[in-house]
Amino acid sequence: MTTTTSPSRLHARTNFLPPSRLHVSVSRSFNIRRNSFSPFISPVKISTKSQIIEHVVLFKVKPDTEESKITAMINGLNGLSSLDPVVYITAGPVHRIESSSSLTFTHMLHSRYSSKEDLNAYAVHPAHVDVVREAVRPIVEDSMAVDWIVDELDGAVAVAAGSAMRVKLLRIKDGLSDEVSDALFEVIGGLKSKFPVMSQISYGKNFSPERAKGFSIASLAVVAGVIELDDLDVNSEELDSQKERVKDTVDSVLVIDYVIQP
C-alpha cells in the first residue's frame, strides 16, 4: 500500500473500499498547483430531456510533464463546453484518489449529454478530436472512461463551481449475474438519505466497456465542497454496514474525489 497525504485534510476513508488499497493525493505527487491554470467559466446549458448521459474520463499525466502542457490540456478540455452536444463539462486535477488495485490517475473530465447520440457526436467532433490529439495524448500515459444513463437526475445538470464530486467505480467479480447490479444500485441509491451532505447522486451500469478496464458500475455524488467530502467518511458505522453488503460481489474499487475549479 502506498500513501501520500496532501496538506488539505486528506484523511480519506471511502465507502465500499476494501482494506487493501492505494491512497494517493495526486496534486502533491505531481506538483500541480490548483491555481496554475486560468479559471474557466463554462456557459450553463439547460437540457430539455429528463434523461442524462454521464461521461467520466480519467487521465494519468506523465511524471515531470511541464505545467504549461497540463494547463493546455485542462483549458482545451474545458473549452469543449461550447460544442452543441455538450450540456455540461468540467476538467481538472484529481483532488484525491483511492484504489484497491494499482490504478491511479491525476486528472478527470466529467461531462453530461442529453442522449447517447449527443455523446457520440461529441466524441467525433473535430474540436474534440483536435484537443485529444494535440493536448491530451502527448502528455497522458494512461486513461479510462465510463458512461452511464440517468433516467431522472435529482438536481441541476450543471454542477456549481467550488462543489466537489466523489466518483466511485466498481469492478464486479466474474460469473455474477445482473441481480448483483440491482443489489448494488439499491445500496447506492439509498446513500443520499443516509448522507445529507450529498446534494445529488447519479449511478448506473457502464455501457462503454472497451475503455473501462473492467469496471461496470459507476456512481457520482455531488457535495458542497472539500469539507463535505470528508464528512462523507464520518459515519463509520454506516460505511461498515455498506461494505459488508457488497464485499462478496465487488472485486475492485476506484474512488476519485474531484473539485470543480472556481
Q: How far apart are CA 30 and CA 218, in angstroms?
A: 26
Average pLDDT over every residue of 251-261: 93
Confidence of residue 242 (pLDDT cuts 50, 70, 90): low
Tell me if residue 192 falls in helix, strand or coil.
Answer: helix
DSSP secondary-structure letter at 164? E
Which of 194-223 are b and which e, b meaning 16 or more Cβ less than 10 Å from the residue's Cβ? Answer: ebebbbbbbbbbbeeeeebbebbbbbbbbb
Class of residue 251 by CB neighbours under 10 A (exposed 0-12, middle 13-18, buried 19+): middle
Instruction: Name the residue with higher pLDDT: 119 or 100.
Output: 119
pLDDT in tens, 17-60: 333 334 444 443 333 333 333 334 444 454 444 789 999 999 99
Q: What is the share, in percent, of the chain residues with pLDDT greater than 90?
A: 57
Cell 474520463, residue? 57
pLDDT given for residue 4 in this prediction: 37
13 grid coordinates: 476513508
Cell 445529488, residue? 200
Beta bridge partners of residue 96, listed in sequence order = 257
Q: What is the share, in percent, of the chain residues with pLDDT greater than 70?
A: 76
Between helix 178-189 and helix 236-246 the angle, nearest 10°, is: 170
DSSP secondary-structure letter at 184? H
End-to-end alpha carbon distance in the chain: 33
Q: Which CATH class is domain 52-260?
A: alpha beta
Domain boundaries in the chain?
52-260
Average pLDDT over every residue of 122-142: 98
